[in-house]
Amino acid sequence: MNVQVYGKEGGEMILSASRRTDIPAYYSDWFYNRIREGYVLVRNPMNFHQISRIRLAPDVVDGIVFWTKNPVPMLDRLGELRDYMYCFQFTITPYGRDIEPNLPDKPDTMISAFRQLSDMIGADRVIWRYDPILISKRYSMEYHVHVFDRIAKELQGYTKKVIFSFIDKEYRGVQGNLKEMELLDFPPADQTELSAKLAEVAHSHDLEMDACAESIDLRKYGIGHARCIDDRLFEKLLGCHLNMRKDKNQRPECGCVTSMDIGMYNTCKTGCRYCYANYNRNTVNGNFARHNPKSPLISGEVGRDDRINNREVKSYRDTQMRFFG
């Protein structure tokens, strides 16, 4: 096994957990084990045998962003994260099991979980995601407005912001499911019309609204450009400035700052038809079967052909600039 050291490459210490999979729903025990042991191993998605070793000590982790459709498995152990600042991007959409086949019941379970999480950590740290928006015979524009209003009523006071986006058909995983979803044409003019209607609903429930990585300008409807990995939020929560930069590895329209993702593609069991992070169901099943909560890798073990690189990391906090009251 080869071990090499990165020099000064990397260093972004907002953790993304994860754009690639739902860690709270399926890998929460593994995550808490990683926190307790103080490091995680992450495979390079472009080079399977290249692994980064990332230190997870509180003095270098400026924040953690959890991406999830079901945080329930994490909730009883959130006290183990007392030394970390974190927030949740919590997705609740209007779709049934034809689109999201493996999710718990939303009205009875996910709305309740959202409220419980908000009560535990605060409404400003639980961001509602209503994305991606897709249009079909079953899920019409009128349907979206109706269900969005219903969910917004349930979440009023439990979150301060909703983020939305439109389905991106170009991803490999999405293309394989287009026929199943029976999508209808959804031109920019219709996207703008629906955005305006959703914004009106959101604002009536005291919610800010941002569009995630969308090129259309929706500012006149009170819709901002999302920064899902948001240094401004963490600056407010931490009470200090973060010397961070925009993430150049994301799409040009993306407003996120740099982060370090600790997930793995083709490991999420939810099976959403619109998912960009899964593109082979057999691979997903195999990766999930190889999951060991005690392994430093989210799936499988370190092999003799793997090369582990110690990723240099540091905090980007400027504690001399305390400007939040």
> How many other C-beta atoms lie within 10 A of the C-beta of residue 102?
13
Check: CB of residue 21 under 8 Å from CB of residue 265: yes
Report the pLDDT value the prediction gives residue 322, as an integer from 0 to 100: 52
Between vectors from CA 57 to CA 114 and to CA 24, what angle results, nearest 5°?
25
d(CA 304, CA 87): 37
| Tens-binned pLDDT, residue by residue, of the chain (325 aa) | 555 544 444 556 899 999 999 999 999 999 999 999 999 999 999 999 999 999 999 999 999 999 999 999 999 999 999 999 999 999 999 999 999 999 987 877 999 999 999 999 999 999 999 999 999 999 999 999 999 999 999 999 999 999 999 998 776 667 777 778 889 999 999 999 999 999 999 999 999 999 999 999 999 999 999 999 999 999 999 999 998 888 888 887 888 999 999 999 999 999 999 999 998 899 999 999 999 999 999 999 999 999 999 998 889 998 664 544 4
Task: Indicate the DSSP class of residue 80.
Answer: G
Cis, bond preceding 18 (omega within 30 deg of 0)? yes
Q: In Å, how far are 118, 228, 274, 282 from 240, measured between CA atoms?
A: 23, 19, 38, 45
Range 187-199 burial, b when 16+ CB lie within 10 A, else e: eeeebbebbebbb
The model's pTM: 0.93
Check: CB of residue 10 under 8 Å from CB of residue 313: yes
Q: What is the CA radius of gyration of the chain?
A: 20
Give φ, ψ of 201 to 5 degrees. Answer: -65, -45
Report the pLDDT value the prediction gives residue 314, as an integer from 0 to 100: 87
Q: Which residue has the tokens 């998605």?
A: 45
Give φ, ψ of 150 to 5 degrees. Answer: -65, -45
Between vectors from CA 229 to CA 215 and to CA 37, what angle results, nearest 5°?
150
